[in-house]
Amino acid sequence: MLRSRRLALLCVAAPLWLAACSTITPSRSFDADESARSEHYSGRFAANYTRYGRSEGVQGSFRWQEQGRNVRLDLISPLGQTLAVVTSTPSGATLDLPNEKPRNAPEVDSLMEQALGFSLPVAGMRDWLHARPAPGAPSSVTRDANGRPDTLKQNGWTVRYVAWQEASEGTPTPSAQPRRIDMARDGNEAPLSVRLVIDPKSEQ
């Protein structure tokens, strides 16, 4: 069975799949010299992509943890089983899958695409989740009537900020935070679109 089909059906098709859905322990730790405050996000994702000439789709929930340049992303099935864990640090990246050896690479995007059929732009998302361009790469930003980013283009992706939520009390710099983000990879060779709906901080 193709990996893309497996990801879409894992933990849903039959009870036998549950044996492959045990909790995944990340095999890569965060780099210790990243001392920034840890931040957490959770929400739902839906990805639509083309693989081997066929349209595919997968959805579920996600958990995102960041500390400086360290990032951990958990992708979770609709039944609550962990499908994959992505860990990206300055020293490298690892993709952990159920009952498989960890896959390592300098960066994580290619790992995800090879194994799962689609890739979330983890490196860019560190900043795009904060509604800002990633440093060190050209970008263009349009803004809405309130001065918030409306569309951000960078690194071959178009990021649209569809809905916003007010930051929770007690945040260091209170401001509106993205509620829904639509991302599409530019170009026609391998179409890919991802929708993220981020939970309010009080729900995490």
- The answer to whether domain 38-198 has CATH 2.50.20.10 is yes
pLDDT in tens, 27-56: 999 998 877 788 999 999 999 988 877 888
Exposure letters 125-161 (e unless 16+ CB within 10 A, then b): bbbbbebebbeeeebeeeeeeeeebbebbbbebebbb
3-state helix, strand, coil in the chain (%, to 5): 15, 45, 40
pLDDT in tens, 178-199: 999 999 997 767 789 999 999 9
Contact 188, 199 (CB under 8 A): no
How confident is residue 133, by pLDDT bands cut at 50, 70 and 90?
very high
Give me the half-sphere count of Cα atoms (radius 13 Å) on the Cβ side of residue 181.
Answer: 27
For residue 4, give the DSSP letter: H
